[in-house]
Amino acid sequence: MPHAKDDQRDLVSRQSRVRGMMLGLALGETVGSARGAVAPTGPLWAGVGTQLACFTAEGVVRAQVRNDHKGICYAPGVVLHAYCRWAYLQGVETQKMLARWNSPGDRPWPDGWLAGVPALAERRGSAPATVAALSRVDEGEEAMATPSRGAHALTRSLPVAVTGVQGIALVDALAGLTHGDRAARDAAVHAALLTRHCLTRPIPHRSPYAPFDGVLREALDAGLSALPSEARSLTEQQHDRLRAAFHQAVEAPADPAHLTRLAPDATAPAALLGGIYAAASFPHPADLRSAMAFAATAPSGDSVACVTGALLGAAHGAESLPPDLVTRHELAWILDTLARDLVLQFDDPPSGSEYVEGWDPHWWNRYPGW
């Protein structure tokens, strides 16, 4: 019979790995943007991919809240609404955003707690495909997307890994809101599925004197084996490339030439291949800093290191992340809170449902279900 303490420990463990994923992707993007040369002191700024990943996480929670209370939800529309709140805060087509989303009455827009975070209104890089698509939001989802193959389609979608295999089907639709290129959308799906395996791979009991470093490689190996059944659009060529990147990391780890060949540009497929190679080259929890620094040497180091940090953080948990970097990151508390809330929403919905009373009276105001 399960003990209450076992349930509590399981919840803490799941939270740690989701926190590791969220904080890892953010640290990776920051380290990558600095080409691995992070200043020893002072604040670390978030990248635009991290900002968008925050709104993805918030949108996923709000979509689930709506589904719990209404029994029906078009999740891509709810997450699109989240991206529009980001755009409004960034000053992108503010009047168009207000005209679409600001309803009459007492409810201010943009709503939800994330819209009140000043750092998310700061420009932290460019996201041209996302901005171009959101600027055409009034034309409808079918007409919004650009032909871009850019990495933001993938990096901002990583939080969806928390929702499980069925929920990850959402990733294709989310990437497709702004990035119409098929390869970018496929890479986003494959990345979320592999991240999901990192989040859920059992961690064996280990001694602090001999930490177990096989979780990451085991998770990626299992994820790559499961991809043909989990990703319906996976082609044989795509699978071969992903497998090759993993095997190269095992057989010839941390080779700059390999990394450059796998990730030569700022596209979503390159971010995934480079991220797999960098993460699997440094599978030990103690080497997470080295993994991100190595990933940062790729031609588009921010996206590769973002994927690297997410995979390693998901596999090893938040405790594996360098504390001197985490504590200086401007969105550390935001990311940590979003991660915990993601787990809570799927574990025991704080706002309840249509038929079950909630236990957190503030949850609906924090995550309005629309």
Residues (pLDDT < 50) of the chain are 207-211
Domain presence at residue 3: no
Indicate the SS3 state at residue 32: helix
**Tokens representing 167?**
């929920």
Domain presence at residue 5: no
Domain presence at residue 207: no
Q: The pTM is what? A: 0.95
- Beta-carbon contacts of 293 under 8 Å, excluding residues fewer than 6 positions away, are 31, 36
At residue 225, the pLDDT reads 97
At residue 209, the pLDDT reads 42
Domain presence at residue 1: no
At residue 282, the pLDDT reads 97
CATH of the domain at 194: 1.10.4080.10
Tens digit of each residue's pLDDT (9 = 90 or more) over 139-156:
988 899 999 999 999 999
List the domain range (segments joined by +) for residue 169.
10-34+43-202+212-366
Q: Are 280 and 220 in contact (CB under 8 A)?
A: yes
Largest separation between any pair of C-alpha atoms in the chain: 62
Tens digit of each residue's pLDDT (9 = 90 or more) over 326-365:
999 999 999 999 999 999 999 999 999 988 999 999 999 9
Q: What phi and psi, each to the nearest 5 degrees, are found at residue 352? A: 75, -145
At residue 351, the pLDDT reads 96
Domain presence at residue 67: yes
Beta pairing partners, 207: 210
**Tokens representing 6?**
């076992």
**Tokens representing 194?**
């592999």
H-helix segments, 282-362: 288-295, 301-316, 323-326, 332-347
- Spatial distance between the Cα atoms of 341 and 362, rounded to a whole number of angstroms: 12
Domain presence at residue 314: yes
Q: Are 121 and 152 in contact (CB under 8 A)?
A: no
If one counts the domains in the chain, the total is 1
Which amino acid, 137? V
Domain presence at residue 2: no
3 state SS for 279-291: HHHCCCHHHHHHH
